[in-house]
Amino acid sequence: MPRLIVIKGTDEGKSFDLTANIIGIGRERTNGIHLHDTEISRRHLELRAADNGQYRLIDLGSINGTLVNTRPVKDHLLQSGDHIQLGQTILVYSTSRPEKAANEDLASRISMVSRHDLEIPSAIVKTISETAGSQILARPDQAGNTTWLKTRLANLSIMYETIQAVSHILDVDVLLDRIMELIFGSIEADHGCIMLRSPDSGEFEPKAVRVRFPEQMTEKIVISRTIMEYVLREKQGILVSDASKDERFSAGQSIVRFNLREVICVPMRGRHETLGVLFLDTTSTVRDMVAAGSEHGKFTEDHIALAIAIAHQAALAIEETRYHHALVQAERLAAVGQTVAALSHHIKNIMQGVIFGSNLVNTALDESNDALLRKGWAMVQRNQGRIHDLMLDMLSFSKDREPSIQSTDLNQIIEDVAEVVAGRAQEKNIRLEVKPSSSLPKVPADPEGVHRSVLNIVSNALDAVEERDQASVVIQTKLESDGEWARIVVVDNGPGIPPDQIEVIFRPFVSTKGARGTGLGLAVSRKIFLEHGGDILVESQIGVGSKFILRLPMKSPLANEYPSGVYPNTGAMTPPEPD
């Protein structure tokens, strides 16, 4: 099934299966694929089903345009592996099948035959070392003695295309299909197959199969196990020409019975190991070549040199892809371990408070001490609230959440937040001031998410000023002069944040509060605002205080606020104005 995978941008990691005949892509929620990048138009493009399960990309007059493989396009028939760039978002179009199903399908088209008593015949007319794959590209002038190869490698067209393919295609199956396409464009093979060794079983499995003529699609492609084992054992690519006329091949079932007359088989050598083989064959006989006025078969020494050069590049790309996947998996496991360790630490600290409070309650009950009972119960409730907040932060941070957009009064939100923290501010002798803007209209936003973010920021500000003389926290709202952005500003006169720590504080599990903080509050707050198409910015001066600027777009990319067919360009986020 075709699909799009987001590899860069706000929606990185998301995958979309393509099943409908027409699929819209853009910031508007009614699109089949809804993206949050503010540089993408509301209705940016459409994917329209074409023949053979493919899709055609149609740009709908987007402001910032559409790039496919770094080139601007208006109308483009997508090929598997194409990179599509919209604004700051990059997607990969893939038509690969599930690996197990693909392997089973390809395996049904391959027939492996062998004779253990067979020797490789004298019909081998050329051998080539598996290390030559890297040397040919480095010294193309010494690659061969014929004009064909020197010309071919001099202009580097085929190798340039190969390198382009291996440099940007992330899916191994898609990569190998593209490699086979390039090979068949340069070498007159009738059949081709790439066999890779399975990392799990060690057995060789077909990963890409190609034939030149449509009527050959139903035929089994015969791979000579004898030749393949020789190539792997001797670490050489070989060219076998008109093999069936050699008497020593007469005993080889795979040569005589299935009439393999010309074969190229080269090892796919990467940096560290041989991953598999590239197998090409043609059924043209010497008689056919003579009738065509040629002294040689279709395959020449130059073709084997080109084949091993391409096989080497493909092997390097496969190694790199496997390394990347292993690295990603390792990073995921490390991230899980770090998360579990951090959460365990915070939960342990909270539970210590619960246990201590419970012990006070038990003691108070035994002694009928009402004052001690209230103190212990208050401690239990306080830590119960911390567990509740931690769970909410974990849920908010761990999954993508589409804000529930509605017309929201930011002035009312800051009033509500101030009411929640007023008792704490009074207890700590902190001056809490609220300055709502009378000129600020309602904003399209998720009031619950915005309230949670503002409460996190204000709570942090109160923590920051606890030890300061004449401690002060100010919360205000404002509409920026261009009318495009609303802001909530939280200013404190705390100790300030070092410049090199301003971005660090938004990382998960980074906390300056010791046991009191979970390290998720700021990370969750910024995530909520980014989901709205906004952001949280920080200005701070050591010894003076900090200013947190929470910005929301007045025209939300998640809300349908415009008449049909009218999609203004909101553009990239503009820098905040000074207060």
Q: Would you call 55 helix, strand, or coil by DSSP?
A: strand
Average pLDDT over residues 180-207: 86
112 and 221 assigned to the same domain: yes
- The amino acid at residue 358 is S
55 and 80 assigned to the same domain: yes
Residue 573 forms part of a structural domain: no
Which CATH number covers residue 151? 3.30.450.40
Does the structure show a pLDDT above 80 at 556?
no
Per-chain mean pLDDT for the chain? 78
436 and 518 assigned to the same domain: yes
Q: Which two tokens stand for residue 407?
A: 């017309």
269 and 350 assigned to the same domain: no
309 and 333 assigned to the same domain: no
Q: Which two tokens stand for residue 226?
A: 């004898």
Q: How far apart are CA 165 and CA 158, in angstroms?
A: 11
Domain span including residue 343: 326-398
Residue 574 forms part of a structural domain: no
Which range (93-102, 205-214, 306-315) has the least confidence?
93-102
- Give the residue from 464, 458, 377, 381 showing the smallest Cα distance to 422: 458
Structure confidence at residue 568 as a pLDDT band (50, 70, 90): very low
Q: How many CA atoms lie within 13 A of 451 on its CB side?
A: 15
pLDDT in tens, 3-18: 888 877 788 778 888 9
Residue 80 forms part of a structural domain: yes
Average pLDDT over residues 70-97: 87
- Give the residue from 259, 225, 194 showing the smallest Cα distance to 120: 225
Residue 566 forms part of a structural domain: no
Strand-pair partners of 224: 113
Q: How far apart are CA 506 and CA 460, in angstroms?
A: 12
DSSP-derived letter for residue 146 is S
Average pLDDT over residues 439-458: 90
End residue of a domain, out of 398, 432, 456: 398
Q: Domain total for the chain?
A: 4
Structure confidence at residue 550 as a pLDDT band (50, 70, 90): very high
Residue 562 forms part of a structural domain: no
Does the structure show a pLDDT above 50 at 329?
yes
CB of 290 within 8 A of CB of 223? no
- Whole-prediction pTM value? 0.45
58 and 189 assigned to the same domain: no
Strand-pair partners of 552: 486
Q: Count of CB atoms within 10 A of residue 84's CB?
A: 22
Average pLDDT over residues 275-291: 72
Does the structure show a pLDDT above 70 at 149?
no
259 and 236 assigned to the same domain: yes
Residue 572 forms part of a structural domain: no
Average pLDDT over residues 125-132: 70
Residue 110: per-residue pLDDT? 74
Which CATH number covers residue 540? 3.30.565.10
142 and 45 assigned to the same domain: no
Token pair 């942090």: residue: 460
Residue 83 forms part of a structural domain: yes
Structure confidence at residue 63 as a pLDDT band (50, 70, 90): very high
Structure confidence at residue 59 as a pLDDT band (50, 70, 90): very high
Residue 212: per-residue pLDDT? 85
Q: Count of CB atoms within 10 A of residue 550's CB?
A: 24
In the chain, what is the straight-line distance between the N-terminal and C-terminal CA atoms, in Å?
52
CB of 500 within 8 A of CB of 566? no
332 and 307 assigned to the same domain: no
Q: Which two tokens stand for residue 504?
A: 């660090």
CB of 430 within 8 A of CB of 473? yes
Contacts of 312 (CB under 8 A, 6+ apart): 133, 134, 137, 268, 269, 270
End residue of a domain, out of 76, 94, 112: 94
Residue, of 432 and 92, whose pLDDT is higher: 432
DSSP per residue over 496-511, as a string?
A: ---GGGTTGGGSTT--
Residue 125: per-residue pLDDT? 63
Q: How far apart are CA 26 and CA 11, in angstroms?
A: 12
Residue 252: per-residue pLDDT? 46
Residue 298: per-residue pLDDT? 76
Structure confidence at residue 398 as a pLDDT band (50, 70, 90): low
End residue of a domain, out of 376, 398, 420: 398
282 and 410 assigned to the same domain: no
200 and 349 assigned to the same domain: no
Residue 288: per-residue pLDDT? 55
Residue 164 forms part of a structural domain: yes
Residue, of 543 and 319, whose pLDDT is higher: 543
pLDDT in tens, 349-390: 678 778 888 999 999 899 889 999 998 898 888 778 778 777
Which CATH number covers residue 66? 2.60.200.20
Structure confidence at residue 278 as a pLDDT band (50, 70, 90): very high
Q: Count of CB atoms within 10 A of residue 480's CB?
A: 14
Residue 572: per-residue pLDDT? 38
Q: Which two tokens stand for residue 560?
A: 């349908």
Q: How far apart are CA 323 and CA 442, in angstroms?
A: 50
Which range (61-65, 165-169, 416-420) has the least confidence?
165-169
Residue 72: per-residue pLDDT? 93
Q: Would you call 112 helix, strand, or coil by DSSP?
A: strand
The pLDDT > 90 percentage for the chain reads 27
411 and 536 assigned to the same domain: yes
